[in-house]
Amino acid sequence: MVVPLNVYFKIPIERLTELGVLNAYIGIDNKVFVDPSLLRNTDIAEFKDGASEIADYFAPVIKLLKAVKEPRDVAWEEAFRRLQFKEEHGAALGYSGAGTSGRGIGPGLARMLVLRGTQIVRLGIEDPEMFELIGLFQENFGPDLLSDMAVSILKKNFFAFTERVTKTLNLTPSREFNFKRQTFTLPVHPDGENALIFVPADFLTPLPIALDDSEIAEVAEFNAEVRQRWNEIIAIAGKENRDPSKAEIREMLLASPQNLADLITVYKKAAKKGYDFAKDPFGLFSWDYIGRTAAADFPIEIPIKQPKTIQELRGVLNLIVAQFKKNIEENKLYEVLYGESGRPRPEVFSQRLFYAIADTYCNANNVDLNREPNAGNGPVDFKLSAGYHARVLVEIKKSSNGDLLHGFQVQLAAYENAEATRESLYLILLVSDNEAPINDVMALRSAALAKGARVPDIVVIDARKRLPASKRNK
């Protein structure tokens, strides 16, 4: 089930907005994360001491790291224990989706944090904010884990905030949940077991903490050596058409204690802002409304109401995909794939846009299908209602995606091992004049066909921005 909180609780969205609650989707990733830096100047009563509580949690960890003499000694083991965080359930945000569990920070990642933390304190850096910045230069540690870490430390605060909202709006279903000898009245997730934990929209951002070019090049705290090295890293990455690697950033920052000290100073001074949910420039939450509106504006007739075979299922999807292609190429739906600034929206927007359109078409035609978007970036899964014996995965990728060819290779491998009742459609959105990546995928498919292999179908959709008619005719 994919449903926004206001629909689940049958209340106007304005009621949640007035109380500062993210109107998250239940059952799908919301792609926004708690940014600890946004807690510093909050007016939300339950979180007025949130930033200091996070700092207070890490202060003794830093003391332990300073005391470490060798791996596995007493100080190492205690720091290791404190840097593990259980999977969080119910927080309506992040990679895991509302009501499901996040990755958490297990033993492997905790060992990495101890190692990297020890390196940092030995450089003389003892500021607790260093743990908020480790994701900048450590592989496998992204905004989801930083968010999980913050939510875990402030779990009581989130419970108190959620309880206030629940009682203010008289939300149902709700019941009492116990946490550390306290009882909180919290809303119940659709699974009937877990609590839903509300998250203040002010604390959220869709982006990981990053080194902005201007922060490196212009902020006075960074010394000339760092600026020069950063410009070199940017230049190399630009030539190779990639972002700077975390290894490159790590080498630059750990080269001198002053570099890390400057970074923390810049981080503290940065005027951070949360995501603009009203404008929603990335389309993280507007995809549902946009998709359903497009489907209503350009309806289709689906004659098969209860597909019973994989062939009939494919017939239904072919109609939906053909209309999706027409909507983008002929009905100007390509315009929504780009934000107000003209920059392309994230690929996940396109994937969820297709889900919303397909879901609307099925509902409008009373088509009996189970359909759900993958919890992360990935395919939309269509399954026959009767026994789930037949299913088709529809995966959408932009032609600019560096993993375009790899993604198709994964689908090929899955085909080799899949039963005949599982099939795939690979939808490629052409977003630039460079068609070489698409040609590579087509060549791979042709080679596999020549060998007699089963292969996914490929549909290419021209989603490039068009010039206005007045300019095209000049």
Tens of pLDDT, residue by residue over 418-449, are: 666 678 899 999 999 999 999 999 999 999 99
Residue 216 confidence class, pLDDT cut points 50, 70, 90: low
Beta bridge partners of 174: 187
- Mean pLDDT in residue range 311-320: 93
- Mean pLDDT in residue range 282-294: 95
pLDDT of 241 > 80? The answer is no
> What pLDDT score does 415 carry?
74
Lookup result for tokens 């259980």: 86
pLDDT of 101 > 50? The answer is no
Check residue 125 and give left, alpha or beta (phi > 0: left; psi -120 to 50: alpha).
Answer: beta
Q: What is the CA angle 311-317-320, rounded to 5?
A: 150
> What pLDDT score does 54 carry?
97
- pTM of the predicted structure, to 2 decimals: 0.85
Domain boundaries, the chain: 3-269, 287-472
pLDDT winner (highest mean) among 242-251, 322-331, 458-467: 322-331
- Mean pLDDT in residue range 439-463: 95
- Mean pLDDT in residue range 302-308: 92
**What are the E-state strand segments in 77-179?**
174-179
pLDDT of 366 > 70? The answer is yes
Tens of pLDDT, residue by residue over 159-180, are: 999 999 999 999 999 999 999 8
Residue 416 phi/psi, 5-degree rounding, is -65, -30
Give the 3-state DSSP-derived string for 33-65, with helices as H, strands as E and coil as C: EECHHHHCCCCCHHHCCHHHHHHHHHHHHHHHH
- DSSP character at residue 207: S
Q: Give the DSSP H or E segment for 347.
A: helix 347-364
Tens of pLDDT, residue by residue over 24-39, are: 998 888 888 899 999 9
- Mean pLDDT in residue range 20-25: 94
Residue 342 confidence class, pLDDT cut points 50, 70, 90: confident
Tens of pLDDT, residue by residue over 65-100, are: 999 999 999 999 999 999 999 766 555 553 333 334
- DSSP character at residue 319: H
The mean pLDDT value of the chain amounts to 88
> What pLDDT score does 387 carry?
58
Six-digit token string for 259: 């570099």
CA distances from 401 to 141, 296, 407 (A): 22, 30, 9
pLDDT of 393 > 90? The answer is no
Provide the percentage of residues in the chain whose pLDDT is more than 70: 88
- Residue 38 CB burial class (10 angstroms; 0-12, 13-18, ≥19): buried
- Distance CA(458)–CA(437), nearest Å, equals 13
Residue 244 confidence class, pLDDT cut points 50, 70, 90: confident
Check residue 439 and give left, alpha or beta (phi > 0: left; psi -120 to 50: alpha).
Answer: alpha
- Mean pLDDT in residue range 252-276: 87
Q: Give the DSSP H or E segment for 247.
A: helix 246-253
> What pLDDT score does 100 carry?
44
pLDDT of 237 > 70? The answer is yes
- Distance CA(229)–CA(235), nearest Å, equals 10
pLDDT of 186 > 60? The answer is yes
As a residue count, the chain comes to 474
- Mean pLDDT in residue range 218-242: 77
- DSSP character at residue 103: -
- Mean pLDDT in residue range 130-155: 90
pLDDT winner (highest mean) among 238-242, 304-308, 461-465: 461-465
Determine contact, residues 71/308, Cβ cutoff 8 Å.
no
> What pLDDT score does 465 carry?
92
pLDDT of 102 > 60? The answer is no
* C-alpha of 278 from chain center: 18
Determine contact, residues 361/323, Cβ cutoff 8 Å.
yes
pLDDT of 13 > 60? The answer is yes
Determine contact, residues 391/384, Cβ cutoff 8 Å.
yes
Lookup result for tokens 């190399």: 236
Lookup result for tokens 């630009």: 238
pLDDT of 357 > 90? The answer is yes
- Distance CA(279)–CA(201), nearest Å, equals 13
> What pLDDT score does 410 carry?
86
Neighbours of 292 (CB within 10 A): 18
End-to-end CA distance of the chain: 49
- Distance CA(142)–CA(209), nearest Å, equals 9
> What pLDDT score does 388 carry?
63
CA distances from 140 to 103, 143, 145, 212, 325 (A): 11, 10, 9, 20, 36
Residue 144 confidence class, pLDDT cut points 50, 70, 90: confident
Q: Which of 272, 274, 261, 271 is nearest to 129 (CA)?
A: 261
